[in-house]
């Protein structure tokens, strides 16, 4: 009787954890929790009857058996991925799976997407836009557009346009603010985005505001909600330019101060190493850089 092969789910968790030498990074790539990865690897070790990792303080290390097994498992997954891609390339439709943060999708990507479709009508797009961390690239996605500072280990991250912050509020709130006195902001309420909680502190530090102590704060889950709350007079919001520019043009928001602040975060085009040899990935990558890269 041949020995039973462990499930692909357990093997994939082991392969990614061994590749990154980290349960945390493996969990981020597989879109699960580090404890789930740890549980799967423990289950795999129990099935095999062989320890694959040494657990040390805040780190993991492959055992000699784990190093040997990783080479075979990694090679097997690489062959499966290659074979699957060749099958799709030969017999399947060209479906490109995109993962994009919601505001970028609605305000920047979708209004321009018809130009890509006109050029490449044979490529079907599957677009997922979900609230969440901007530095995540889901394993099922071919291309992501994420927000961060370029830290996507093991992936290609190409920078898009630089971003600036500018304080915005309703005209009624602006009437209460002296545009020549930055400290006037402390007499107002401010609105935070849950996904970018440090935006106000970045702005205040860059404009030289010694004390940033707003009268009240409101935290919302998205840029959409923050801009809408500001339009209703609930406080000042940090508008991220240029991606909010069209939204602001359609709204009644005004800048109470002239200060614009460039921030280290920017949007990035993210994909797996080597995927740019795939024609649909390369064509979309080239189009995105043409539309959104810094010129």
Helix (H, G, I), strand (E, B) or coil at 145: strand
Token pair recorded at residue 26 = 């493996």
pLDDT band, very low/low/confident/very high, at 139 (cuts 50, 70, 90):
confident
Q: Provide the β-strand partners of residue 99.
A: 128, 144
- Going by the DSSP 8-state scheme, the letter that residue 152 receives in this structure is -
pLDDT tens sequence across 203-233:
999 999 989 999 999 999 888 899 999 999 9
Each domain of the chain, given as residue ranges in start order, spans 8-90, 93-161+266-292, 163-263
pLDDT band, very low/low/confident/very high, at 140 (cuts 50, 70, 90):
confident
Q: Provide the β-strand partners of residue 39.
A: none
Segment 137-158 shows an average pLDDT of 88
pLDDT tens sequence across 34-92:
999 999 999 999 999 999 999 887 788 999 999 999 999 999 999 998 888 777 665 55
Q: Distance of CA 114 to CAs 110, 125, 253, 256, 276, Å?
A: 8, 11, 29, 36, 22
Token pair recorded at residue 197 = 């909680």
Chain center to CA of 79: 28
Round the average pLDDT of the chain to a whole number and report it: 89
pLDDT at 92: 56
CA dihedral in degrees (243, 129, 27, 71; nearest 10)? -100
pLDDT tens sequence across 148-171:
888 888 899 999 988 999 999 999
At the second CATH level, the architecture of 93-161+266-292 is 3-Layer(aba) Sandwich (3.40)
pLDDT band, very low/low/confident/very high, at 137 (cuts 50, 70, 90):
confident
More confident residue, 102 or 44: 44
**For the domain 163-263, what is the CATH code?**
3.40.190.10
> Which CATH code, of 2.40.40.20, 1.10.3720.10, 3.40.50.150, 1.10.10.10, is assigned to 8-90?
1.10.10.10
Q: Distance of CA 86 to CAs 89, 98, 157, 164, Å?
A: 5, 20, 25, 42
pLDDT at 279: 85
């Amino acid at each position: 009787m041949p020995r039973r092969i462990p499930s692909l789910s357990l093997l994939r968790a082991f392969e990614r954890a061994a590749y990154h030498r980290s349960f945390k990074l493996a969990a981020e790539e597989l879109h699960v929790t580090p404890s789930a990865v740890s549980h799967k690897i423990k289950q795999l070790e129990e099935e095999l009857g062989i320890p694959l990792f040494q657990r040390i303080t805040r780190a993991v290390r492959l055992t000699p058996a784990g190093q040997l097994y990783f080479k075979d498992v990694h090679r097997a997954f690489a062959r499966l991925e290659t074979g699957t891609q060749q099958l799709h390339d030969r017999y399947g439709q060209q479906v490109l799976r995109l993962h994009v943060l919601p505001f970028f999708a609605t305000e920047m990507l979708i209004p321009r997407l018809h130009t890509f479709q006109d050029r490449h009508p044979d490529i079907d797009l599957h677009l997922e836009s979900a609230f969440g961390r901007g530095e995540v690239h889901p394993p099922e996605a071919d291309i992501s557009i994420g927000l961060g500072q370029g830290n996507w280990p093991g992936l290609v991250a190409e920078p898009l346009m630089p971003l600036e912050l500018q304080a915005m509020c309703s005209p009624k709130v602006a009437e209460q603010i002296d545009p020549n006195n930055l400290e006037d902001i402390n007499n107002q309420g401010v609105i935070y985005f849950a996904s970018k909680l440090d935006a106000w502190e970045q702005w205040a530090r860059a404009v030289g505001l010694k004390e940033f102590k707003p009268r009240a704060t409101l935290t919302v889950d998205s840029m959409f909600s923050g801009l809408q709350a500001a339009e209703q007079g609930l406080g000042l919001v940090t508008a991220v330019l240029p991606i909010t520019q069209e939204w602001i043009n359609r709204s009644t928001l005004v800048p109470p101060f002239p200060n614009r602040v460039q921030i280290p975060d920017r949007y990035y085009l993210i994909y797996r190493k080597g995927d740019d040899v795939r024609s649909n990935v390369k064509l979309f990558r080239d189009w995105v850089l043409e539309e959104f890269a810094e010129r």
